[in-house]
Structure 1
Amino acid sequence: MSDGDFAGARPGLQRMLAEARPGVLLFSLTPPRRNATPERIKEIAAVTLERLAPLDVDGLILYDIDDESDRNPDERPFPYLPTMDPAEYHAEHLGGWDRPAVIYRCVGKYDEKDLADWLRHADPERVLGVFVGASSGDKSVRTDIRRAHAVRQEVRPELPLGGVVIGERHTRGGDEHLRMLAKQERGCTFFVSQVVYNVNDTKNLISDYVYECRSRGTAPRTVIFTLSLCGSLKTLEFVRWLGVEVPRWLENSIRHANDPLAESYRQAMAIARDLADFCAHLGMPYGFNVESVSIRKAEIEATTELAADIAKLLRERRQQ
C-alpha cells in the first residue's frame, strides 16, 4: 500500500477507516466545563464551528475527561474540572457540524446500562466511538474495557469502534502491539494514539505491530497519531504528568526557544513528516489527530494552523 493508491477525492471517514486507507485527519476538542451556563456553552459551540468550518478534516474527536489522579501520585499541574458529556455536547450543541464525530467513552465511569443506551441510540452514519479503559489497574470501575467491548458487540456491532494506543506503554512492557491485536479481535477497527512527542517509542510500536500482523496474516488497522502543541513549560509539565514521554532534547528545544509555541509547532510538523514516511514505507495505514485542548488564544490559533498544514501534508502525500 502507498499513499498514491488513494489519490483523488477521498471518501467519508467511516469508509476510510473500514478500508484502512491512509491519510485520515481528525481535530480533537474537550467539551465545555460541566458547570458552564447554557449561554456560555452555546457561545463556545458557535466559535468552535466557526474555527472548524474552513479546515479540511475528516471528522471531529470529542474527549471524555476523567479524573486520572490514580495514575500519578504527584500533584496535578492543572486542576481536574469535570466537563460535559461529549455525546450530549455533540447532539445538543454541534448540530451544525456536517462531518462525523468520534465520541470518546471512559467506560469505567458508566454503568453497563448507560453504555448500552448510548450505543443503542448512536447513529453510525454520524458517530464513531473510542472506548478508553481505566487509567490504572487500581481504579474502581463500573464497566471494564473488555465488558464494554462485549456490550457494543451485543447492542450495536455496526457502530465503528476505535481503541487507544500508547507508545510509552509499549516501551515499558513491550506488548502494546499485542493489546492492539486483542482489541481488534474484540471489534476495534482503528486506533488513536496518546500525544506523540517521543517518535522512537511510536515507531518501535508500529514496527512491532506491522510485523506481528504479517506473521498472523492479519491486516493492520489505521493508527491515528495525536499531535499537540506545547506553548509553555506548565503545559509540558502536565503532559508529563499524564504519562507522555518528552525526550530531553525536545524539552530543551522548547525550554530555551525564544518562542516556545513556534518551536513546538516546528517539532510537531517534523514528527508528522517522520511518521508519514515511516508508515508509508511499512505499508501501514495512518492518519493524524490535531489536538486542541488549551484555553490560551495563541495556542488555539496555532493549533488551527497546524491542522491546515497537516491537511496540506496529507494532500501532497496522496498526489505522490
Structure 2
Amino acid sequence: MLRDKIWAKEAGILTYGMTPPKIEHSSEKIAEIAQKQVERLLDVELDALILYDVQDEADRTDETRPFPYLPTLDPTTYSEQYLKGLQVPKIIYRCVGRYSEEQFANWVTANANRDQYSVYVGASSSTQEVQLDLAEASRISKSLNSSLTFGGVVIPERHQKRNDEHLRVKQKIDNGCAFFVSQATYNVEASKNFLSDYCYYFKENGLEMVPVLFNLAPCGSEKTLAFMKWLGISIPKWLENELKYSHDVLDKSIQLSKSIFQEIFEFAMDKGIPVGCSVESISTRKVEIEASVQLLRDIKSMLDKKLKQPALS
C-alpha cells in the first residue's frame, strides 16, 4: 500500500500526474476524457495517481503565458466522480492559499474514515495574496484527520540560488509532510546538489529522510518547451539546444528524461536516499500524453531492475 511505502520511507515509489479537464466541458466530455485516461493507465503498476489543483500563476512572472489559463475541475471531484475505474490511491494537490480555514477544514474532514493523500502547494510568488499558509494547512490536517497523509513540493533548482532547500524540507517534515514531489526535472546538477545537502544534513543531525519523487515531463514541441520555461522549470542551455535542434523533439526528450532520472536515482541509492518518480504530460496533445505513459512504463521497468540489485558500494 502507498501509505505503508511512504511511512516505511521506501525508494522506488512511482506515480503518474494529470490535470483534471477544463471546468467548461460538459459532463459527457469530462467522462469521455476520463475514460481515455483510465484506459491508458489500467495495466501500469502504479503506486498512486496524482491530480493537480491548478492555479493561474500569472503573478509569478511578467512574461506572457504561452497557453491561456482556463479553470479546471476540482481534483477531488474529478477523482470521486470520474476516475473510479482506476483502482489506485489518488494524491490530491491542494493550492492551500486559495481556501479559507473553514473550507480547508471541511475538505480535510470530508472522508476521514478512509486513507487520503495530498500534496500541499504554497503561493506561486511572494506577492500572491493567500487565505491560508502551508504551516496552518499542515496544522489543520494533523489535528483533524489522522488518515490523511500529506506531502509537500520540493524545488531543487531553488537550492542553486539559496542553498536552503534541504532546510525547507526539514521544516515541512516537522510540520507533518511525509513525502515530497519535485517540479519537472531537467537539471541533474541542481537535483544532485539538493540531494547531497539533504542527505548529509539529515545524517549529521540524526534525522530520517523521507521519500522524494522526481517529476519527469516529456517535451514534444517548442511551444511545450516555452510553457515549461514559463512555469519556472529549469532547463540547462545545452539540454534546451538538444531538444530544439533534434529531428524528433519528443523522442529526444524521452531519452534525456530516462537518462536524467537514472543518474539521479543511482546517486540517491548510493546514499540511501528514498527517491521515487512521478511522470506527467504538461501538454494536452495526444502524442505527448501517450509518450508520457510510455515513459512511465520505461521508468517502472528501470525501477524494478534497480531495486532488485544490491545497493551500490
For Structure 1 versus Structure 2, the TM-score category normalised by the shorter chain is over 0.9
State whether residues 112 and 145 of structure 2, in contact with CA within 8 Å, keep that contact through their aligned partners in structure 1: no
The one-letter amino acid paired with 2:197 is: D
Aligned-residue Cα RMSD (Å) equals 1.1
Q: Which residue does the alignment assign to 1:271?
A: 260
Matches within 5 A, 1:178-189: 178-189=167-178
Deviations 1:30-83 (A, max 9, x none): 000011100001111111111110112111000000010111111111111110
**Among candidates 195, 199, 207, match of residue 218 of structure 1:** 207
Could you tell which deviates more after superposition, 122-131 or 64-73?
A: 122-131
TM-score (norm. length: structure 1): 0.94
Q: Distance in 2 between matches of 1:100 and 1:126?
A: 9
Q: Which residue does the alignment assign to 1:134?
A: 123
Identical amino acids, percent of aligned pairs: 42
Q: Distance in 2 between matches of 1:229 and 1:132?
A: 22
Q: Which residue does the alignment assign to 2:244?
A: 255
Deviations 1:129-172 (A, max 9, x none): 10000001111011111111111122113311100000111111
1:200 CA displacement? 0.4
1:258 CA displacement? 0.4
**Among candidates 4, 9, 23, match of residue 34 of structure 1:** 23
Q: Does 1:144 align with 2:133?
A: yes
Unaligned runs of 5+ residues in structure 1 are 1-11
State whether residues 294 and 300 of structure 1, in contact with CA within 8 Å, keep that contact through their aligned partners in structure 2: yes
**Among candidates 11, 17, 26, match of residue 22 of structure 1:** 11
Q: Which residue does the alignment assign to 1:6?
A: none
State whether residues 291 and 303 of structure 1, in contact with CA within 8 Å, keep that contact through their aligned partners in structure 2: yes
Q: Distance in 2 between matches of 1:178 and 1:146?
A: 15
Could you tell which deviates more after superposition, 123-132 or 193-202?
A: 123-132
Q: Distance in 2 between matches of 1:22 and 1:271?
A: 17
The one-letter amino acid paired with 2:22 is: R
**Among candidates 145, 153, 172, match of residue 156 of structure 1:** 145
Q: Distance in 2 between matches of 1:99 and 1:245?
A: 31
Q: Which residue does the alignment assign to 1:88?
A: 77
Q: Which residue does the alignment assign to 1:297?
A: 286
Q: Which residue does the alignment assign to 1:9?
A: none
Q: Distance in 1 between matches of 2:262 and 2:252?
A: 16
Q: Distance in 1 between matches of 2:276 and 2:34?
A: 25
Q: Which residue does the alignment assign to 1:244?
A: 233
Q: Which residue does the alignment assign to 2:97?
A: 108
Q: Which residue does the alignment assign to 2:37?
A: 48
State whether residues 70 and 135 of structure 1, in contact with CA within 8 Å, keep that contact through their aligned partners in structure 2: yes
State whether residues 101 and 126 of structure 1, in contact with CA within 8 Å, keep that contact through their aligned partners in structure 2: no
Indicate how the Cα distance of structure 1 residues 237 and 19 shifts in structure 2: closer, same or farther if over 3 A, else same.
same
Q: Which residue does the alignment assign to 1:60?
A: 49
Q: Distance in 1 between matches of 2:151 and 2:114?
A: 15
After TM superposition, what 4+ stretches of structure 1 lie above 6 angstroms from structure 2?
none
SS of the residue 2:59 aligns to: coil
State whether residues 94 and 118 of structure 2, in contact with CA within 8 Å, keep that contact through their aligned partners in structure 1: yes
State whether residues 65 and 106 of structure 1, in contact with CA within 8 Å, keep that contact through their aligned partners in structure 2: yes
1:123 CA displacement? 5.1
Q: Which residue does the alignment assign to 1:175?
A: 164
Q: Does 1:74 align with 2:63?
A: yes
SS of the residue 2:80 aligns to: helix
1:293 CA displacement? 3.2
What is the number of equivalent residue pairs in this alignment? 309
**Among candidates 249, 271, 295, match of residue 306 of structure 1:** 295
State whether residues 112 and 147 of structure 2, in contact with CA within 8 Å, keep that contact through their aligned partners in structure 1: no
Q: Distance in 1 between matches of 2:113 and 2:281?
A: 25
State whether residues 99 and 126 of structure 1, in contact with CA within 8 Å, keep that contact through their aligned partners in structure 2: no
Q: Distance in 2 between matches of 1:304 and 1:97?
A: 15
Q: Which residue does the alignment assign to 1:281?
A: 270
Q: Which residue does the alignment assign to 1:206?
A: 195
1:124 CA displacement? 7.1
Indicate how the Cα distance of structure 1 residues 163 and 124 shifts in structure 2: closer, same or farther if over 3 A, else same.
farther
Unaligned runs of 5+ residues in structure 2 are none
